[in-house]
Structure 1
Amino acid sequence: MTIIASILALLQATAAPDAADPLAPAREGKLQCTLPDPVKKSCMALSRYVPDGDRRYLNITRSLMGKKPEMILEFKSPTVIEGNAACGIMARSEMDEAIIYVDGIEAPVEVRKPITDSLLAQVEGHLGKKACQRIRRDGDGLVQEVEIDGQPTPENTMRVSWVDPTEGYRLRMGLEPD
């Protein structure tokens, strides 16, 4: 999976498959785990949704970007529920305001800015566009599908699950083994 696909999916990590209440698991305190490995209890990204009005949430996503030193990217993304989808406009401000933690300490701007600028360059063509995600059942799991400005983006399809924070899930690098 490319970094672009990861960023696009994570900028608006999605809802659950219940059209009437797509973020019900989040309101129950669960986190969305992108590319879950239930055996190793790890995720490529973990997203928490904070209610922010009627059918509106603030999605706070954390993703591991490096192991030595450990680098975690955290960004916040406004999300609006539209039918059975979680949607938002991909904005430059999400990366401009992102936080990068290096070994658990918030990195200063001179460390953060080159990294977020590089990520922005990779998604530049999608800024200002509406990203919507829907989750569907696939066998015994869930799959997230992404549309950008109404166009399907199959390269951004990936497995997701809802996990309880007490289950001990942690971040891992993309598709790499732990």
Structure 2
Amino acid sequence: MLLTALALFALSPAPAPQEADPLAPAREGKLRCADPDPARKTCATITRFRMRDDGSFDATISGIADPGTTTVIVYDTWGRVEGSAVCITVRPADISGGRFFVDGKPATSSQSSELGERLANLIAPLAGKKRCFIDQEDDGAIISNVTLDGVVQIEQRRRVAWINAADGYALAGG
């Protein structure tokens, strides 16, 4: 009986390898920094993830809303982990409903309205598309590869880092 059980165990397929959790650093409280500059302690965007038990997440994303200025947008979105990919559905309403800051102060309602509408219109062609990122290590750096509805977006490939909130990083720009 024992030999039969051992023989069956030996013939059964090995369990599939577990995929690494792409948001493990977020579960440890770290923030995702896109295009990090460690010397200046800056990021192009900073994302804070809040994990849910079902594999989905909420995210708050901060970034420069208007290149060449100090206008910042902070907006909320949500998505889910799919294997080794972190995915969201592009929703212009997330952007238009964002909070805007000009020179470090909350934007006026007319500034917010104008900026939100302009940015939402820019991403409108992407509305409803699934945008995913898959990170991979490359010579000591983390490179984020982006897909849009499953199609690789080479131009959106970028370096990322996971940082602690206490590290003092800020948004680059202005």
Same fold, judged at TM 0.5 (above): yes
Q: Provide the C-alpha distance between the structure 1 equivalents of 2:59 and 2:19, rounded to a whole number of angstroms.
A: 18
Amino acid of the residue matched to residue 136 of structure 2? R
CA contact (8 A) 2:145 2:158 kept: yes
Match of residue 15 from structure 1: none
Identity, % of aligned positions:
28
Q: Provide the C-alpha distance between the structure 1 equivalents of 2:26 and 2:122, rounded to a whole number of angstroms.
A: 29
State which structure, 1 or 2, has the greater radius of gyration over its C-alpha atoms: 2
Match of residue 82 from structure 1: 82
2:60 is aligned with 1:60: yes
Note the C-alpha offset of 1:71. Answer: 1.9
Q: How does 1:137-152 map to 2 (within 5 A)?
A: 137-152=137-152
Note the C-alpha offset of 1:118. Answer: 1.5
Please give the per-residue CA displacement for 1:63-116, whole angstroms capped at 9, x wherever unaligned. Answer: 124699732111111020000000111012211211101233322321112112
Gaps of 5+ in 2: 1-17
Q: Provide the C-alpha distance between the structure 2 equivalents of 1:96 and 1:171, rounded to a whole number of angstroms.
A: 20
Note the C-alpha offset of 1:56. Answer: 1.1
Aligned residues: 157
What SS is found at the alignment partner of 1:70? coil
Please give the per-residue CA displacement for 1:102-133, whole angstroms capped at 9, x wherever unaligned. Answer: 23332232111211221122222111111111
2:88 is aligned with 1:93: no
Q: Provide the C-alpha distance between the structure 2 equivalents of 1:123 and 1:39, rounded to a whole number of angstroms.
A: 32
Q: Provide the C-alpha distance between the structure 1 equivalents of 2:157 and 2:115, rounded to a whole number of angstroms.
A: 25
- Measured on the aligned residues, the alpha-carbon RMSD in Å equals 2.0
Match of residue 156 from structure 2: 156
Greater relative contact order structure (CA < 8 Å, 6+ sep): 1
What SS is found at the alignment partner of 2:57? strand
Note the C-alpha offset of 1:44. Answer: 0.7
What SS is found at the alignment partner of 2:80? strand
Q: Provide the C-alpha distance between the structure 1 equivalents of 2:101 and 2:146, rounded to a whole number of angstroms.
A: 28
What SS is found at the alignment partner of 1:117? helix
What SS is found at the alignment partner of 1:116? helix
Runs of 4+ in 1 over 3 A off after TM superposition: 65-70
Match of residue 124 from structure 1: 124
Q: Provide the C-alpha distance between the structure 2 equivalents of 1:127 and 1:77, rounded to a whole number of angstroms.
A: 13
